[in-house]
Structure 1
Amino acid sequence: MRDSALKAGLVGLAVGAGVCLALYGLASRRRRRRKGADPGERDRSALLRAASGIPLVSSSGRREQAGMDFPNSPHVLETDDVQNLIYLLESTKDAAIQEQILITLSNSAAFSINQDTIRNLGGLPVVGKMLSVPVANVKEKALNALNNLSMNIQNQEVIKVYIAKVCEETCSAPLNSELQLAGLRLLTNMSVTNNYHYMMTSSIPGFINLLSAGNERTQVQVLKVLVNLSANPAMTEHLLKAQASFLLSLFDSCIKEDVLLRLLVFVTNLTKHMKKDKNTVNYEYNEDSVFSVLWGDSTVCAQKLASLFHHHDAEVRLQVAALIRQQC
């Protein structure tokens, strides 16, 4: 009974800023009073005893989408509060507790000052280690936390070491799952600049596969990554070599505008870079490659674009016109 009550209290750890601050204030005071004792054991005991009085709260109202401003989260966490959160995350093996702590860190990381504090206290590697926990919910919450933390350029320099792992988890996750979407959101942030594109090169076939097999939400998210990659001339050849026999089927008025617009930008970027670098055209491409599908039979592509030129959405028509101008 005692163990059950303790676990129930810990699972509620991440809800309510006032409760969190009270918890860690108490924990910090207990740590200061117990000088001379074994810090690891004493710290953990104090945190667990303080947490045991927190009631379990339903998770139905949690706001977890990366990059959002969470009105119920603390605007600024004290250094001791962040330090204790990181300590708990690093020391516990309970997946439910890990998940709740990651939600708290993710929410707090919506504010830039907390992003710096978490980095300065060594929290990024602790969150990154959660990507190796064999529990999908924990991985998803870790990706959400890293996504918010990646809004900070200095944090990106630390997070970059996890790009290969994130790509692997994203491409192998259950199709259209929240875990997959969380990975794609983080990769979108990490691909805004050209700095880390080379770390994603080997995953381009996986991204293309998600574009083919995924639902609309997945297609939009993966296209955000592909558009970022296509803006970098150094990635042009890698993208043109990718196998995408289905690509022209997406150039259709029945495709949702959010998908279609990003696809058109993706192709426009590749076209622009090809015009500047003739070497990409001279490369020998497979018949199902992006290059061969789009430009192997230019008549088919031209017919598709001509049809889209009469699309009901003005933005789509403008982007089609921009692509046609690049091809001239």
Structure 2
Amino acid sequence: MGDGSVIPKFSNMKAFLGIVAGAGASYGIYKLFSGTSFRKNKKSATNENNGRLFPHAGIVPEPGSLLAKVSGLDVIRGGESQAVPGGVESSDIMSKSPGSLEPQHLKMLLSLLQSTPSSSERVQILITLGNTAAFTVNQNLIYEFGGVHIIAGFLSDPVPEVRVQTLNALNNLSMNLRNQVQLKVYVAKVLELIEMSPVNSDLQMAALRLLTNLSVTDNHQHLLRGSVTLLLSLLVVSNQLLQIQVLKVLVNVSSNPDMMDDIVQAQAPASVVLLFDVRTSSPVLLRLLTFAGNLKAWRPSDQVAEALRRQDCLYRVLLDESSLLHSRLFQLLSHPDGEVRAKVAWVLS
């Protein structure tokens, strides 16, 4: 992430970091100083599957995005039916029931998607492909036609709605394990879209849904090692619907013991602990407690224990003896929701 922000000298860095407590500042400093992008087996029963929903280019962060809020960047915001081979109109194909499309129709749609200059038509084609991808037979056909990479190429489309429908189509395709193997190369791009897009936007939601499906098994969870700070920062500034989706991803990756060392060492906003509150909605709180329970079941290695002396990591925020989490959990034992009380007791056990 390049920008024109003034970066404090290294000698002042620790003092500057010590002042910061909020989510935005925490995430902004992480991005400014680390210079990192998102880089490149045992499972608990708490994994969440999102279910079906209908070439890298830099994207300028849009107004209202998490990155724009914390970095101080000046941000600039950046059909008629066509005939397809065989004399069939694209509107004829897209008007068919998703389950009735034949292989040649899918080929035609993929070809048209690459050739049409109309963004509105691209949106309609992607919606149609996304709907057809709810069926296993079509997931396999799109894979065989090279459609995963064709569709994923529109993650960099300049039109936000095209990117949203691209993500929706890929989300349905991700229900197929063969497609997941091809989709894993786009995880970094999906994380970039989350980072650059307006908070609580449809684009962020669609991207998180895709990551939820990709993180259900431990096959690709390692690709999210560098994303924990982004997810935690988004968690404390987003609305309830997006919080639930963020937590689905965090619950999935925290159910994998091989991921835990990276998770607890991630830089985290201190305000994460404030979400453990009776005013937090029960759907959010239940997933937050599941995430906390997964963390509390972990034990650090000697090497990691040494690294945990950093004051701004997730371990210090939620697991350290000085954390406010313990007292907040006891307060939640009197929560009016019985399911929440049971989950709190599980975390404390």
TM-score range, shorter chain: 0.7 to 0.9
Which among 254, 259, 263 is matched to residue 288 of structure 2?
Answer: 263
Instruction: State the distance in 2 between where 1:299 and 1:131 align.
Output: 40
Q: CA deviation at 1:273?
A: 2.1
Specify the code of the residue in structure 1 equivalent to 2:130. Answer: S
The equivalences for 1:95-110 within 5 A come to 95-110=119-134
Q: Which amino acid aligns with 1:321?
A: A
Give the drift of 1:278: 6.1
Shift of 1:76: 4.1
Give a deviation string over 1:240-282, Cα, whole Å, max 9, x none.
Answer: 122221121011011001111111111111111227x565444
**Residue in 2 that maps onto 1:88:** 112
Give the distance between the partners of 1:268 and 1:51, measured in 2 at CA: 51
Shift, 1:9, TM fit? 3.3
Aligned residue type for 2:117: K
**Residue in structure 2 matched with residue 9 of structure 1 by the alignment:** 81
1:273/1:295 Cα in 2 relative to 1: closer, same or farther (>3 Å)?
Answer: closer
Q: Distance in 1 between matches of 2:195 and 2:323?
A: 33
| RMSD of Structure 2 on Structure 1 (CA) | 2.1
Of 298, 307, 312, the residue aligned with 2:331 is: 307
**Higher RCO, Cα 8 Å, sep 6+:** 2
The correspondence for 2:140, drawn from 107, 111, 116, is 116
- Counterpart for residue 253 of structure 1: 278
Question: Using a 3 Å threshold, how does the CA distance of structure 1 residues 161 and 250 change in structure 2: closer, same or farther?
Answer: same
- The corresponding residue for 2:192 is 168
Query: 1:316 aligns to what?
Result: 340
Conserved 8 A contact 2:199-2:238: yes
5+ residue gaps, structure 2? 1-78
Which AA in structure 2 matches 1:122?
Answer: G
Does the 8 A contact of 2:155 with 2:167 survive in 1?
A: yes
1:292 aligns with 2:348: no
Code of the residue aligned with 1:238 in structure 2: it is D
In the alignment, residue 185 of structure 2 is paired with which amino acid? V
Distance 2:334 2:141 in 1: 51
Residue matched to 1:215 = 239
Q: Percent identity?
A: 40
Aligned to 2:154: 130
- Which of the two has higher C-alpha Rg? 1
Question: Which residue of structure 2 aligns with residue 43 of structure 1?
Answer: none
User: TM-score, with normalisation over the residues of structure 2?
Assistant: 0.72
Structure 1 residue 112 displacement after superposition: 0.9
CA offset at residue 234 of structure 1?
1.7
Counterpart of 1:233 in structure 2 is 257
Offset at 1:291?
A: 0.7
Query: Is residue 286–residue 343 contact of structure 2 (8 Å, CA) maintained in 1?
Result: yes
The 2-side partners of 1:236 and 1:168 are apart by 23
After TM superposition, which residue ranges in structure 1, 4 or more long, deviate above 6 angstroms?
none
Give the AA of the match of 1:219: Q
Higher helix share: 1
User: Which whole-Å CA distance do the structure 1 matches of 2:147 and 2:308 have between them?
Assistant: 46
Q: What is the TM-score normalised by the length of structure 1?
A: 0.77
CA offset at residue 293 of structure 1? 1.4
1:299, distance to aligned residue in structure 2 (A): 6.7
1:67 is matched with: none
Deviation at 1:318, TM superposition (A): 1.3
Give per-residue Cα distances to partners, 1:47-82, cap 9 Å, x unaligned.
5xx347x6x99xxxxxxxxxxxxxx84224211011
Q: What CA deviation, in whole Å up to 9, does each residue of 1:174-205 have, x standing for no partner?
A: 10000000000000000011111221222221
Give yes or no for contact 1:166–1:183 (8 Å, CA) kept in 2. yes
Give aligned pairs, total.
Answer: 269
CA displacement at 1:93 relative to structure 2: 2.3
How far apart in 1 are the matches of 2:215 and 2:227? 13
CA distance in 2, matches of 1:299, 1:290: 10
